[in-house]
Amino acid sequence: MSVSDPVANLQALIRCPSVTPAEGGALSTLEAMLLPLGFTVERMVASEPGMPDVENLYARLGTEEPHLMFAGHTDVVPPGEEASWSHPPFAAEIEGDELFGRGAVDMKGGIACFVAAVARHIETHGAPKGSISFLITGDEEGPSVNGTEKLLRWAAEKGERWDACLVGEPTNPDHLGDMIKIGRRGSVSGRVTVSGVQGHAAYPHLADNPVRALLPLASALMDPPFDAGTPEFPASNLEVTSIDVGNPATNVIPARATFAFNIRFNDTWTADTVKAEILRRLDAAAADSPLRPGRKAAIYEIVWAERPSHVFLTRNNGLIASLSGAVEEVTGRVPQLSTTGGTSDARFIKDYCPVAEFGLVGQTMHMVDERVPLADLEVLTQIYGTFLSRWFDNALPS
């Protein structure tokens, strides 16, 4: 089977119902595409107590440096109500000039195009002057515990080293060529609980209402701003995402009140310094927050969410220039180099090699009727192909 057609590749992948953590046949389908191209394919199963095992795939073509990694995931989010789809989510039907299906843009489409680009590169130029590998997880949309992080460690322990990585996540807001992601903000979440004394709303002097102290604590985190942003990053931003008292009675002063927050921070902070600043603000606000009028110093507890996401910024010119140049050559657009959006698996890859992200237009990701224009699949394949040529021409073995 020829795998130089990204549309056929994507149809085959969409027809595998690989909702996290199910493999759904997606990695086997990808393996069947890569073997005829000469890749050595390995399937790595990751385990964690209390969680389902997840299958992952690592494939390499070539043994020499420089070594380029393409990273992504074959798992998809659930389709939701299948009846709401105009085409069944795992049928990969084409209507007009669009291909419908769960994962079409996030991100089986990116994988389908990169496979096609590699196939065309080999047809035109022969084997690459170096190595290409696919690092593909089945656990990106889920807890991301049995996925990229473990797969990278497993490969590195076998001696794999990479010079650069391209992640094929959808990065473009409106048109193919709008945006390359060269970094991501960090993310820290937590939950703050203030304790008071429960009582009758009509006898407040016998109680301590924790809500009175909770609100200034929440306000202190939201204002003033943490910073003004940098040339590469927007300003760090904290959102209070929930305030919970859990009290159905209007005449009872509650014993406890809780709020949750999430901050997305730029590279003027680390996860540790941003946590220290949050504690400093909470302590200052608590010292100043009466529970009952006249009583000083609220008592609060903070529980951090388990794993912060670390901020990163890629400054590798060979990678960014090859990618940006390829986008401009194929589309005529000069892509914006951006650090916006949520976290991605690039946060794990950055510990191993420089990483940038470029894929399809993300507008329908995770939605009912996720779909991709056929023309975009062809253009992305050409961009990836041009990137391959440019990167291998420019890269020097490290």
Distance CA 71, CA 357 (A): 9
61: Cβ–Cβ under 8 A, 6 or more apart, which residues?
Answer: 34, 37, 38, 39, 40, 118, 127, 128, 131, 132, 133
β-strands 183-184, 355-357 pairing:
unpaired
Chain-centroid distance of CA 377 in Å reads 21
Shortest distance in whole angstroms from residue 72 CB to Zn ion: 7
Distance CA 174, CA 93 (A): 23
Q: Are 343 and 350 in contact (CB under 8 A)?
A: no
List the interface residues with Zn ion, window 161-220 (CB under 5 A).
169
Shortest distance in whole angstroms from residue 9 CB to Zn ion: 17
293: Cβ–Cβ under 8 A, 6 or more apart, which residues?
Answer: none
List the interface residues with Zn ion, window 297-326 (CB under 5 A).
none
The residue (of 37 and 104) whose beta carbon lies closer to Zn ion is 104
Q: Are 381 and 389 in contact (CB under 8 A)?
A: no
DSSP 8-class letter at 235: P
The region of 103-111, 177-185, 212-220, 367-375 touching Zn ion under the rule CB under 5 A is: 103-111
3-state DSSP percent of the chain in helix, strand and coil, to 5? 30, 25, 45
Shortest distance in whole angstroms from residue 346 CB to Zn ion: 11
Query: CB atoms < 10 A from the CB of 215, how many?
Result: 17
Exposed e or buried b per residue across 216-253, where buried means at least 16 C-beta atoms within 10 angstroms of its C-beta: bbbebbeeeebbeeeeebeebbbebeeeebeeeeeeeb
Q: Are 70 and 134 in contact (CB under 8 A)?
A: yes
The residue (of 6 and 190) whose beta carbon lies closer to Zn ion is 6
Does 107 interact with Zn ion (rule: CB under 5 A)? Answer: yes
Shortest distance in whole angstroms from residue 170 CB to Zn ion: 7
List the interface residues with Zn ion, window 238-277 (CB under 5 A).
none
The residue (of 169 and 277) whose beta carbon lies closer to Zn ion is 169
Does 111 interact with Zn ion (rule: CB under 5 A)? Answer: no
State the virtual CA torsion across 126, 129, 135, 136 in degrees, nearest 10.
-20
The residue (of 78 and 225) whose beta carbon lies closer to Zn ion is 78
Which residues pair with residue 71 across a beta bridge? 135, 167
Return the residue nearest Zn ion (CB atom).
106
Shortest distance in whole angstroms from residue 29 CB to Zn ion: 18
Exposed e or buried b per residue across 309-345, where buried means at least 16 C-beta atoms within 10 angstroms of its C-beta: bbbbbbebebbbebbbbbbeebbeeebbbbbebebbb
Residues noted as catalytic: 75, 140
The residue (of 55 and 169) whose beta carbon lies closer to Zn ion is 169
Tokens of 271: 């996860």
301: Cβ–Cβ under 8 A, 6 or more apart, which residues?
Answer: 192, 193, 195
Shortest distance in whole angstroms from residue 73 CB to Zn ion: 6
Shortest distance in whole angstroms from residue 304 CB to Zn ion: 26
How many amino acids of this chain bind Zn ion (CB under 5 A)?
3
The residue (of 169 and 208) whose beta carbon lies closer to Zn ion is 169
The region of 57-65, 88-96, 104-112, 243-251 touching Zn ion under the rule CB under 5 A is: 104-112
Interface pattern 132-171 for Zn ion (x via CB under 5 A): -------------------------------------x--
The residue (of 5 and 140) whose beta carbon lies closer to Zn ion is 140
Among 5, 106, 149, 277, binds Zn ion (CB under 5 A): 106
Does 76 interact with Zn ion (rule: CB under 5 A)? Answer: no
User: Which positions lie near Zn ion, rule CB under 5 A?
Assistant: 106-107, 169
